[in-house]
């Protein structure tokens, strides 16, 4: 290893030591701002900072020794050149390595305001390798010309105008959304390509069969009749206008906005399936009242069984048996908090008799969260209202046959429009998200909901 290489290593080691020392100083300052700090903690952090400081001094001295040795070698080489006999002929011009001076990467006469440097900083952040190379060359030039200044133990706070903040755009935090747990559990169909209504035939008057009163007597006859069940196709849409500056000079702004619009679209659709006037599940379900001033999960469970009995009574032979319970997350966790010493008299497949159901530990919006004691799957959906009832603090639990909750969606929904001409005069870009859908829970009037004062804001007391 040459002396020059040793000096380069020593400089790198010194830079590392300086960085470590600054980190320790920053940690010490952060600790001192803590209201709960102790003298022992401060003393320990000071000792760590002082050790890092000592390491800087040691590395600085080692570099100084090597540079002094290099200076002496250069001095001897120059002396030897002066004492070389005159008869020794100098090499030809094109046979010797000569040292010149290149132009600086960023020159004041070409970039007086530093715009080129600022553009390269931004481009390097976005992955421009040429910009990164120019910045690295610039730092090497700075080390060569002002190395003694760059090696001082100054922290980033000393260069507020030069230390560029980094924004982790890939880790942005989207606005939380309730999304569409119930919609995903419904029986899904492709929306027909044309029309703004979906029409279904419901047999409302059936035929009849009875015993013949006597031989050759007329047999029972009843004319079959149907009723048209019309489901409206609805349009869900949202928009956002962005400036061209935000799109063209921001990092991922358009993608972030579109993602949020899609999340609102799905949340709106799911909320309408549950809460829309006249057709939402809360408005078509038959109520099973649970009125109790001191509600408990053990008292609630029989109401669940009553509601399921009502579902099957309405469906008869058309029941699929694919029943689900849909509830708010606060109700699901409240049921989990209950403790007890009794259990159902009739066991159910896949459910331990001594428990009030089972929790599958599935994340929100990822499907079935668990099962009730009789094996009914639970869908947790926070689009369920929690401001119901006289006290505006109740939620509801819905019991339905999943196969009779129909949802028609456009296969391409949600779709979006990106319109630049509309807002061109103000340098705006209009983003619109929209989609068509239709739904019904009432092909058979079967759904049930548990509602009443027993479903007020839960208190987690273990009952």
| pLDDT digit string, tens, across residues 331-352 | 999 999 988 777 776 667 777 7
| Residues in contact with 120: Cβ distance below 8 Å, sequence separation at least 6, in sequence order | 128, 131, 134, 135
Residue pair 414/237 in contact by the 8 Å Cβ criterion? no
Q: Which residue carries 């429009």 as its tokens?
A: 417
Token pair in block for residue 139: 């730092």
Task: Give the mean pLDDT per block of 10 residues along the chain (463 residues).
Answer: 80 86 80 73 84 88 87 80 55 51 72 68 70 81 66 60 69 93 97 96 96 96 96 97 93 91 97 98 98 94 97 97 97 90 70 76 93 92 97 98 97 92 90 97 97 97 88
Phi, psi (degrees; rounded to nearest 5) at 297: -65, -35
Query: Residue 296 domain-assigned?
Result: yes
Residue 148: the pLDDT is 58
d(CA 302, CA 325) in angstroms, rounded, equals 14
Establish if 70 belongs to a structural domain. Answer: no
In a domain, 402, yes or no: yes
- How far CA 157 is from CA of 19, 46, 139, 149, in Å, comes to 13, 20, 18, 15
283 lies in a domain?
yes
Q: Which domain holds residue 391?
A: 181-212+219-455
Domain tally, the chain: 1
Query: How many Å apart are CA 198 and CA 241, to the nearest integer?
Result: 33
Query: What pLDDT is stored for residue 162 in this prediction?
Result: 61
Task: Evaluate whether 408 touches 439 at the Cβ level (below 8 Å).
Answer: yes
> Which tens digits make up the pLDDT trace of 105-128?
877 777 666 667 767 776 676 667
Residue 280: its pLDDT value, please? 98
Within a domain: residue 407?
yes
* Residue 114 falls inside a structural domain: no
Would you state the pLDDT for residue 87? 47
pLDDT of residue 152: 54
- On whether residue 50 sits in a domain, the answer given is no
Residue 420 belongs to a domain with what CATH number? Answer: 3.30.2400.10
Q: What are phi and psi of 237, to 5 degrees?
A: -155, 155
Which residues does 408 contact at the CB level (< 8 Å), separation at least 6? 188, 189, 190, 191, 192, 198, 231, 233, 437, 438, 439
Q: Is position 152 within any domain?
A: no
């Amino acid at each position: 290893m040459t002396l020059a290489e040793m000096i380069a290593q020593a400089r790198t080691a010194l830079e590392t030591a300086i960085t470590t020392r600054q980190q320790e100083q920053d940690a010490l300052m952060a600790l001192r701002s803590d209201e709960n700090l102790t003298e022992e903690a401060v003393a320990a952090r000071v000792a760590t900072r002082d050790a890092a400081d000592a390491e800087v001094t040691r590395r600085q001295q080692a570099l100084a020794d090597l540079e002094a040795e290099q200076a002496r070698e250069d001095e001897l080489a120059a002396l030897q050149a002066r004492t070389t006999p005159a008869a020794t002929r100098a090499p030809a011009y094109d046979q010797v390595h000569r040292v010149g001076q290149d132009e600086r990467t960023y020159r004041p006469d070409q970039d007086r305001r530093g715009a080129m440097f600022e553009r390269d900083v931004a481009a390097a952040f976005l992955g421009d390798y040429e910009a990164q190379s120019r910045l690295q060359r610039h730092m090497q030039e700075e080390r060569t010309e002002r190395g003694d200044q760059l090696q001082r133990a100054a922290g980033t706070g000393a260069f507020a105008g030069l230390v560029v903040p980094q924004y982790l755009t890939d880790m942005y935090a989207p606005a939380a959304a309730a999304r569409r747990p119930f919609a995903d559990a419904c029986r899904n169909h492709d929306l027909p390509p044309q029309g703004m209504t979906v029409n279904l035939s419901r047999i409302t008057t059936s035929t009849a069969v009875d015993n013949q009163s006597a031989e050759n007597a007329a047999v029972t006859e009843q004319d079959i009749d149907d009723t048209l069940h019309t489901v409206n196709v609805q349009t869900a849409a949202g928009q956002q206008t962005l400036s061209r500056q935000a799109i063209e000079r921001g990092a991922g702004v358009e993608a972030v906005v579109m993602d949020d619009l899609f999340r609102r679209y799905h949340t709106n659709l799911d909320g309408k399936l549950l809460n829309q006037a006249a057709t939402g599940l809360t408005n078509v379900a038959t109520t099973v009242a649970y009125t109790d001033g001191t509600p408990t999960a053990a008292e609630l469970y029989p109401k669940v069984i009553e509601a399921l009995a009502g579902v099957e009574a309405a469906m008869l032979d058309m029941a699929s048996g694919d029943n689900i319970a849909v509830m708010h997350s606060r109700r699901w966790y409240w049921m989990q908090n209950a403790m007890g010493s009794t259990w159902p008299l009739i066991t159910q497949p896949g459910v331990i008799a001594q428990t009030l159901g089972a929790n599958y530990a599935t994340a929100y919006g990822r499907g079935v969260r668990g099962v009730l004691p009789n094996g009914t799957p639970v869908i947790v959906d926070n689009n369920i209202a929690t401001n119901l009832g006289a006290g505006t603090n109740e939620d509801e639990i819905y019991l339905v046959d999943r196969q009779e909750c129909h949802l028609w969606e456009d296969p391409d929904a949600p779709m979006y429009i990106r319109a630049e001409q509309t807002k061109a005069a103000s340098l705006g870009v209009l983003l619109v998200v929209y989609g068509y859908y239709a739904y019904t829970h009432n092909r058979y009037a079967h759904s049930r909901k548990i509602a009443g004062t027993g479903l007020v804001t839960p208190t987690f007391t273990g009952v």
